[in-house]
Amino acid sequence: MNKTVVVFGSSTGTCENIANTIGEKLGAEVINVTDFSADTVANYDNLILGTSTWGAGELQDDWYDGVKVLKAADLSGKTIAIFGCGDSESYSDTYCSGMKEIYDAAEGAKILPGVSTDGYTFDDSEAVVDGAFVGLALDDVNEDDQTEGRIDAWLGEIKGSL
């Protein structure tokens, strides 16, 4: 596996915990998006980027500066995977939509595939493109019993590309 960093934005700690789990499983460094910079992009081959979704499908607040870093960076030769946290019951019409903003900002990178929407219960999400999420969607509030299995299955799919 090439040099990999997991970058998260978290307001309540859920996305941070998931980032730490992913980092442990991959043996990768984990950093808060508040510490994300052009140097981070330059120093890593693989960026695993995670956000929670807030309000009407928006990014976690700290990610707005992170998106600026992504858009300004030369992402050619970089591999990016995305994960997102959401609440599929209370916000079923914007479930994990924050991932889409990161996905759009990562133009120029090789973006690894997300997961199928099969097995998820939600009404709508900006993060669904061509019938699949743009990354790994997790609802650790209502479906915490599925989080570990979904992480393991996703990492099993993408690990060979990292």
Domain with residue 112: its CATH number is 3.40.50.360
What local confidence, expressed as pLDDT, does residue 144 receive?
Answer: 92
- Kindly tell me if the per-residue pLDDT of 112 is higher than 90: yes
Q: 86, 101, 160: which is closest to 134 by C-alpha?
A: 101
Q: 46, 9, 3, 13: which is closest to 31 by C-alpha?
A: 9
Query: DSSP letter at 160?
Result: G
Residue 1's pLDDT band (boundaries 50, 70, 90)? Answer: confident
Q: Are 97 and 128 in contact (CB under 8 A)?
A: no
What local confidence, expressed as pLDDT, does residue 105 receive?
Answer: 96
Enclosing H/E stretch for 149: helix 144-158
**Number of domains within the chain:** 1
Task: Give the mean model confidence (pLDDT) for residues 13-28.
Answer: 96
pLDDT, the chain, mean: 95
Q: Are 116 and 131 in contact (CB under 8 A)?
A: yes
- Residue ranges with strand state E in the chain: 4-9, 29-32, 46-54, 58-59, 79-85, 110-111, 128-129, 132-133, 136-138
Task: Give the mean model confidence (pLDDT) for residues 15-23.
Answer: 97
Domain span including residue 130: 4-161
pTM (two decimals): 0.96
Residue 101's pLDDT band (boundaries 50, 70, 90)? Answer: very high
